Amino acid sequence: MKTIDSLGDLRGRRVLVRSDFNVPLDGTTITDDGRIRAALPTLKRLVDAGAKVVVMAHLGRPKGEVNPEFSLAPVATRLAELIGQDVTLADDTLGDGAKTAVEAMSDGQIVLLENVRFDARETSKDDAERAAMAADLAELADAFVSDGFGVVHRKQASVYDIAQVLPAAAGTLVIGEVEALSRATDNPERPYVVVLGGSKVSDKLGVIANLLSKADTLLIGGGMAFTFLKAQGHEVGKSLLEEDQLDTVRGYLEEAERRGVKILVPTDVVVAPAFAADAEPTVVGAGEIPADQLGLDNGPETTAAYATEIAAARTVVWNGPMGVFEFDAFASGTRGVAQALSDSDAFTIVGGGDSAAAVRILGFEESTFSHISTGGGASLELLEGKVLPGLSVLEDNA
């Protein structure tokens, strides 16, 4: 991949950087700033090189319309604190506000454009619309650095199309992420254990098809566990369930058996009558989920079994919380998996926005994991062996 060095001397040049600042917010308070901190090395490097640093990022899903609820204002404030210099937030993404702010820049300054997803062309499926947005973006800069690892699996204007119209390079975050994840994809030290959970069930079920030919063991938790339990003939009450995926999941279980891949699903579950922090938790066997309750966490027996598998592994990838860790009563399964990874001296990767946030929110020391990825979907697609548009466009021969 092309590196920042390949862009030559950057003093006085305008460099457009795509960062991933899609942080969890509670109102306007950032609850986990990990993604902003992860963006600092590239931004500092460009500032130190004397570039005029124009940063673009998205926040949430404003669906192509300007919506103050999704303004990057809280990010601009936090970024300024962390990097220790002013960050000017442009009034808009590509209008007069952005142009004026960029024109006024001196060397080493930072301007953050408003949410790129305020512009509907950013995520358009129409190549011409994205290309038109990329052309507008290119007017603001002389070079492009792609450093938003969390979006490199997206064929979007600020990720993919822009790299075709400006001299482009990968930032240090993207390079570090790709290096770490390739340790798990190219020849992982075995046993290679993948822990999957979270709530994006249909997205993540698809990943399993590819992982069956790569991993030795899959540990299933979070929302997707219930589609597995149902596929095995258990009732799952009001738990998250993807009815239309039951046959697919049965197919995975059969293929895993044929290939000798171990798939573990919960043997006990923490259930509650409602999805709420104060709902009364009860531990039940996986075959005994009451019809009027829903599963919100792995039970203690499951957590112990998963910890044993993780302790024996040499490579572990974890994506997706084991339960609704945001509520104390349903955080044990996630805490148990985090503890097992943290205790392990294997090569351990945590991927997924919420999983990475969980590790920090539950108080684990980041340095006890080999790598905490800033990208959820992007890291999964790399692990699946897919070609990511935002990476292939940065190849030396692209």
If binding is defined by CB under 5 A, does position 390 make contact with Mg ion?
no
377: annotated active-site residue: yes
28-36, 63-71, 99-107, 353-361 -> range binding ligand ADP (CB under 6 A): 353-361
In angstroms and rounded to an integer, the radius of gyration of the C-alpha atoms of the chain is 22
C-alpha–C-alpha distance, residues 104 and 111, integer Å: 10
Q: Measured at the alpha carbon of residue 324, what is the angle toward residues 194 and 334, in degrees to the nearest 5?
A: 40
If binding is defined by CB under 6 A, does position 352 make contact with ligand ADP?
yes
Determine which one of 78, 121, 200, 204 is catalytic.
Answer: 200
Pick from 188, 353, 375, 377 the residue near Mg ion by CB under 5 A. Answer: 353
Q: Three-state secondary structure along 115-131?
A: CHHHCHHHHCCCHHHHH
Q: Which residues pair with 25 in a beta bridge?
A: 30
If binding is defined by CB under 6 A, does position 296 make contact with ligand ADP?
yes
If binding is defined by CB under 5 A, does position 20 make contact with Mg ion?
no
200: annotated active-site residue: yes
Phi, psi of 87 (to 5 degrees): -125, 120
35: annotated active-site residue: yes
**x/- site string to ligand ADP, residues 207 to 226, per CB under 6 A?**
---------------xx---
CA distances from 219 to 1, 6, 225, 250, 312 (A): 33, 42, 9, 16, 13
If binding is defined by CB under 6 A, does position 376 make contact with ligand ADP?
yes
Structural contact between residues 19 and 56, judged by C-beta atoms closer than 8 angstroms? yes
**x/- site string to ligand ADP, residues 266 to 295, per CB under 6 A?**
-----------------------------x
If binding is defined by CB under 5 A, does position 354 make contact with Mg ion?
yes
Q: Which residues pair with 110 in a beta bridge?
A: 53, 87
Determine which one of 353, 375, 376, 390 is catalytic.
Answer: 353
15-23, 101-109, 113-121, 349-357 -> range binding ligand ADP (CB under 6 A): 349-357
* Residue with Cβ nearer ligand ADP (19 or 109): 19
Residue 34's binding partner among Mg ion, ligand ADP, none (Cβ under 5 to 8 angstroms by kind) is none
117: annotated active-site residue: no
Closest alpha carbon to 23 in 97, 82, 85? 82
Q: Which residues pair with 368 in a beta bridge?
A: none
C-alpha–C-alpha distance, residues 163 and 178, integer Å: 18
* Residue with Cβ nearer Mg ion (176 or 320): 320
* Residue with Cβ nearer ligand ADP (158 or 355): 355
Q: How many other CB atoms sit within 10 Å of the CB of residue 141?
A: 23
C-alpha–C-alpha distance, residues 371 and 337, integer Å: 15
84-92, 104-112, 346-354, 360-368 -> range binding ligand ADP (CB under 6 A): 346-354
* Residue with Cβ nearer Mg ion (221 or 353): 353
Nearest distance in Å: CB 57, ligand ADP: 17
DSSP secondary structure string for all residues of 196-229: E-SS-HHHHHHHHHHHTTT-SEEEE-GGGHHHHH
Residues in the site for Mg ion, rule: CB under 5 A? Answer: 353-354
Residues in the site for ligand ADP, rule: CB under 6 A? Answer: 197-200, 222-223, 240, 295-296, 319-321, 323-324, 326, 352-355, 376
| Active-site residue list | 35, 200, 353, 377
